[in-house]
Amino acid sequence: MTTQRILIIGATSAMAEHCARTWADRAAADTLALILVGRDLSRLDRVAADLHVRAPKVRVESIVSDFAKPEAIRATIDAIHAQGRIDVALIAHGLLPDQAQCQQDLTACAEALEVNGLSPVLFAEAIAGHMEKASHGTLAIIGSVAGDRGRKSNYVYGAAKGLVSRYAQGLQHRLASTQVKVVLIKPGPTDTPMTAHLKGAAKLTPVSDVAITIVKAIDAGKATVYAPGKWLIIMHIIRHIPAFIFNKINI
């Protein structure tokens, strides 16, 4: 049987880790290779060790890369594709910045925009080139419902995720005539370490549920998926609230 190669960028994030578990749990023996890319080798090794326990037959490789330097991103992706084509790539890294801090500290603002917007786009562009040449693969990018409309509570984060959304739409258009699928995932508030400070203030979806939605969306090659699905309706409403009303709402 052919081995499926799945590349996960930002593999130490809770969302990415649960997606990896989902793929590993359903894989038959010797049919799956997971390539984990992150910034911290010790954290990558922890994720890899957990996957080895859950699915000993799954091949797991850990790769450290610099997520801020375009030349490092290019070198990492080129090296991975030199070992064989990628069937699925999931770009999952990000951070949830403090909006008030971003307003006061331009360094924090720049980091939030880079980590949540620019870096995922650069990884996606590097991967897309290889997939386009092979006319094969599914590229999934995790955006956010926050990118659908700017809100005062998180507009720096939302702006970065809005960049990801527009980029994914353009990439889908570019690759529409090929066999490559581009999947944009827009999770709502999810129960992860990144959102621990929101517990009690908002109802958070279990990360395992969101991971299942992501994997199913990738399997289906859907263009855009909200996770959970109710956020499609919620964000449709929020996007269409007139500005004179929206500006009076504290969200």
Query: What's residue 30's pLDDT?
Result: 75
Q: 14-26 and 41-54 helices cross at what angle (nearest 10)?
A: 30
Separation of alpha carbons 27 and 57, rounded Å:
9
Q: In this structure, is residue 251 part of a structural domain?
A: no
> Pick from 83, 118, 117, 111: which is nearest to 97 by CA?
111
Separation of alpha carbons 137 and 140, rounded Å:
10
CATH of the domain at 88: 3.40.50.720
Query: What's residue 2's pLDDT?
Result: 84
Is residue 97 within 8 Å of 105, Cβ to Cβ? Answer: no
> Pick from 99, 98, 101, 91: which is nearest to 67 by CA?
91
Q: Which residues contact 197 (CB under 8 A, 6 or more apart)?
A: none
* Other beta carbons less than 10 A from residue 165's beta carbon: 20
* Other beta carbons less than 10 A from residue 237's beta carbon: 8
Encode burial over 7-37: b for 16+ CB neighbours within 10 A, e otherwise. bbbbbbbbbbbbbbbbbbeebeeeebbbbbb
Q: In this structure, is residue 161 part of a structural domain?
A: yes
151 three-class SS: coil
Q: In this structure, is residue 237 part of a structural domain?
A: yes
Is residue 81 within 8 Å of 132, Cβ to Cβ? Answer: no
Question: What domain range is 170 assigned to?
Answer: 4-246
Is residue 94 within 8 Å of 141, Cβ to Cβ? Answer: no
Q: How many domains does the chain have?
A: 1
Q: Is the dihedral of CA 39, 45, 46, 50 positive or negative?
A: positive
What does the pLDDT profile of the chain (251 residues) look like in tens digits?
689 999 999 999 999 999 999 999 988 767 999 999 999 999 999 999 999 999 999 999 999 999 999 999 999 999 999 999 999 999 999 999 999 999 999 999 999 999 999 999 999 999 999 999 999 999 999 999 999 999 999 999 999 999 999 999 999 999 999 999 999 999 999 988 777 766 655 689 999 999 999 999 999 999 999 999 999 999 999 999 999 999 999 98
What letter represents residue 88's amino acid?
Answer: V
Gyration radius of the chain's alpha carbons: 18
Q: In this structure, is residue 202 part of a structural domain?
A: yes
Cα distances (angstroms) measured from residue 223 to each of 108, 140, 158, 183, 220: 32, 9, 20, 5, 9
Residue carrying the six token digits 């956020």 = 231
Query: What's residue 1's pLDDT?
Result: 64
Query: What's residue 205's pLDDT?
Result: 93
Is residue 59 within 8 Å of 33, Cβ to Cβ? Answer: yes
Q: In this structure, is residue 140 part of a structural domain?
A: yes
